[in-house]
Structure 1
Amino acid sequence: MVAKDVRERLAIIIPLTLAFFFAWSFRLFGFRDAVLAVLSGDAPTTTTSPPTSSLNPFGEAAFIQQAMAVEFPAPIDYGPIQEVCSRTPFREGLVFTCEGQHGGIGMLRNQMLKCIRYAIHGGGAIVIPSMAVRNKNDLKDIETATEMPLDYLLERATFKKHLAAGCPQMRVFDRVEDVPFYSQRHGVPLQLLGDQFEPNHPRTGLEHPRDWRRNFDAWLQKQSVHPEKQKPVHIQMEQSFLEYPVRDDGDAFVHEFGKILSFRNDTRELAAKVLYALRTRFELPIDPTVAISPNSYYGAHLRLESDAIWAWPPEQWRFSRMKDQFEEQFRHLEETGLSTVFVASGNQTVVHLFATYLRQRIASDLTARVRHVDVVTKYDLLSESDLQRLSAMTFDQQALVDFLVMFKASAFMGVAFSSFPWNVALRRHELSKYSAYANEGSDLLRDEYSVIMGMAADYPYVDSFVTSIWP
């Protein structure tokens, strides 16, 4: 009986001792949760293959879906837009249109936002903006007579949804002919420049933007027109340069207003695929659920296309000189220690020259922090079928892909005479711990995420880029 009792006790003690030993061993090695799951019966009964890399925990489809959803540092907050709209009394019988907006995506986007802001000041309805398409055979010819709808670059449904929620007092029409009683309007459309009431404003923009409504109403009276529901007035906003001081409405509005415009879904998908290829090819810690992933890749925007050299001649603009622009990019790349470089440029020859320049500089500088670089573009990272989709797009449509990839770079640098890098850097600045633009150096904009290279002395005229672009 004694022997039997001992055997029964050992049958209980030994398994418990082993379980206790393994549980504490697993706990010490960080596997406590797994052990508890097994002991509690909550462990899955089937197994799945582990990810191919610890840096790649997402499947491709899930990665792309999540990356597409992160277009801004944070989802839109309608509150600041609603507050601004509530300051202005709206009226029936007044409609603003924004036809013929021209430029690259950075300028086009800002021109549309500015036109909408004037329409809010005026208290009228808005027709969904349209744009002039660039001449594909001459990049500097941006003021063509070929008009394209908003859908050419941006999401129409998203725009209507955001504006309706952010500014419910403002009516939005697809076409000006959809305005009630438009056929009975006051004569021909009245053309108006945004800075018409302050023609001698400083380079930093309008000095009295909140007087715009009063000046506008006085101007309407001089035209001998009075907006009425059954006799509407059509205001055609012409394109003026960067003259609206965007920060006049406060930082909260600045961060949210630009979010009413969203890039085309197909370009966001292609950008997400570029990010996925960057992560898998170079094993980079890119998290699709966040705006910026640290320690992954460097974004270099090179503005050396033919239209840039024509508009900003190298003899006057330091950073229109290829070597100067390349050298500034190299110095910033050195500061970051990153070795994967994603380049955005409309000239692939420039990209190849830049890659050669980086490798030569690294080879000639034995103290260089970075000893090897991989220089890639969207053309190097997309599959053949996606490249065909990209090739079917125009110059400006393709630029949307670069914009979105640049937005998520660990570090970014561009020049000050292009609205593209300003749009990217200002959007990223929302995440910065700094409120001002130049806290870590003397560049026009330098924070922990982005640099707009050079000082004001390096550029004959860039004041308006600093003060008049919505992120």
Structure 2
Amino acid sequence: MSCDEAAGGVGEVRNAHLHCIRFSIEAGAALVLPRITSRSEDDIKAVNGRTGLPLDYYFDVDHLHHVLATYCPQMKVYDSLDDLYDVPEASGALQFNIGDTNNDWVNGTVIAAPGMWSHGFYNFINQKVPVQDRTNPFRVHLQRTQWTWQVAGDGRSVASSFGRMLRVRPDARRLAASALFTLASRFGLDLDPRRRRHPESFVGVHLRTEENVDDGYPDYPSQAAHYLDYIFESRSRTAFLATGATRDNVTAFSNRARDFNVTVVTKLDILDEEERGALERLTWDQRGLVDYEIMLRAGLVAGVSASAFAWNLALRRSYAFGKGPVGTEPDSTGGFAWRDDYTTLYGQNGNAFAMAATVWP
């Protein structure tokens, strides 16, 4: 099985690729690792830039191979279709989308009974290409699929660990580790890595006001009001701002937080000169990987429900620190889509239900 390339930030790409891997496992198919389409380097609003980038654009591919070889040893994995250059039968593929293989949905987009999906899949391919008419190996190609598989249906142990196979690339993790060390040292925070959670350390805030946001995102004043109130209610006087927003927005937020005796920092503030140089050599989206790793380790996190990045954080933290998405029903007034002891996502984006149900932690 091969899958469409995925474009966008790490939240979108990560979940699309995890869906690809999960459907391949369910189909009992060999896997051609999916590729990535980077954002335009000249215009961050254009998500379709360079195509055909390997997974190491975002992720630690060696770790992925290790996990799949260890826990799915019977599954053949190819880095790309180039690895099948000597298999002419694999040059063509039966294209399909999940709607071709399933007709029972929750909320219109989420598979109601994922455990039954393989039956629909094999019925579909047997109708399209009967067994007696196939040449082997037989390749199928899954079109873009992102918010479809019910994660909780696989059980807590799988739900809490499956997404870990797509670990952030090592250079971004090193930058995040250094930034966290500086953050702890400078502000006297307890971030001892031997303990899983540090509830009174710092608040992580995902300020999403970049020029590429759509109408699903609240404006800066709305986000700032929510986040400042959230920080003030916490016990922390240190906040980390994960953002690619304009310097004006960052400065305005930092200045307003200072009125509440809160110090706000970004990754640029807690990396040394050499590390900032390494950060600058990364693309705009790759820099977000550093934010992601830092935010995972915050005592509290606030974001907006329109963001796949924020949902990745919320679900990952809910399993890492608690019991998963238990008791996290959206606010009936529309104030927030997710709230637990670790993360709050403000607003009621139309895709919030699907992301809450299908994001791999």
Q: Using structure 1 for the length normalisation, give the TM-score.
A: 0.71
Structure 2: 5+ residue runs without aligned partners?
A: none
* Per-residue deviation, residues 234-272 of structure 1 (Å, max 9, x unmatched): 122211341221211112211011011111111000000
Shift of 1:152: 0.9
Q: Does 1:445 align with 2:338?
A: yes
Q: Which amino acid aligns with 2:218?
A: S
1:440 to partner: Cα distance: 9.8
1:466 offset after TM fit, Å?
1.1
**Equivalent in the alignment of 1:324:** 222
Structure 1 residues 396 and 275: alpha-carbon distance in aligned structure 2, compared to 1, 3 A threshold: same
> What TM-score, normalized by structure 2, do the two folds share?
0.91
Unaligned segments of structure 1, at least 5 residues: 1-95, 363-370
2:361 paired with 1:466? no
Letter of the aligned partner of 2:101 in structure 1?
A: F
CA distance in 2, matches of 1:305, 1:200: 37
1:257 counterpart = 2:155: no
1:396 aligns with 2:285: yes
* SS of residue paired to 1:219: helix
**More deviation, 159-168/280-289:** 280-289
Aligned ranges 1:403-422 → 2 under 5 Å: 403-422=292-311
Number of residue pairs matched by the alignment: 355
Is residue 143 of structure 1 aligned with residue 48 of structure 2? Answer: yes
CA deviations over 1:60-94 (Å, ceiling 9, x no partner): xxxxxxxxxxxxxxxxxxxxxxxxxxxxxxxxxxx
Q: Which residue of 1 is the match for residue 111 of structure 2? A: 206
1:68 corresponds to which residue? none
Note the C-alpha offset of 1:181: 5.8
Could you tell me how far apart the structure 2 residues matched to 1:274 and 1:467 are?
32
8 A Cα contact 1:176 1:182, kept in partner: no
Picking from 130, 155, 173, the partner of 2:35 is 130
Cα distance in 2 between the residues matched to 1:344 and 1:252: 29
State the shift of 1:143 in Å.
2.9
Is residue 357 of structure 1 aligned with residue 256 of structure 2?
A: yes
> Counterpart amino acid of 2:204?
G
* TM-fit CA distance, 1:303: 1.2
Q: Structure 2: how far apart are the matches of 1:227 and 1:274?
A: 59
**In the alignment, what sits opposite 2:211?**
306
2:261 maps to what in 1?
Answer: 372
Code of the residue aligned with 1:444 in structure 2: it is A
Closer, same or farther in 2 for the Cα pair 1:98/1:451, shift >3 Å?
same
CA deviation after TM superposition for structure 1 residue 435, in Å: 4.7
| One-letter amino acid matched to 2:231 | L
Counterpart position of 1:427 = 316
Cα offset for 1:178? 2.7
Aligned to 1:338: 236
The amino acid that maps onto 1:355 is S
Alpha-carbon distance, 1:294 to partner: 2.8
Call closer, same or farther: CA 1:144–1:376 in 2, change over 3 Å.
same
Q: Give the counterpart letter for 1:155 in structure 2.
A: D
Task: Report the residue type matching 1:330 in the other structure.
Answer: L
Q: Aligned equivalents of 1:124 and 1:118: distance in 2?
A: 9
Q: 2:92 is matched with which residue?
A: 188
Deviation, 1:345, is 0.7
Deviation at 1:386, TM superposition (A): 0.7
Please report how far the alpha carbon of residue 356 of structure 1 lies from its aligned counterpart in structure 2 after TM superposition: 2.5
Q: Percent identity?
A: 30
What secondary structure is seen at the aligned counterpart in 2 of 1:451? strand
Q: CA deviation at 1:434?
A: 4.8
1:236 counterpart SS class: strand
Larger C-alpha radius of gyration, 1 or 2?
A: 1
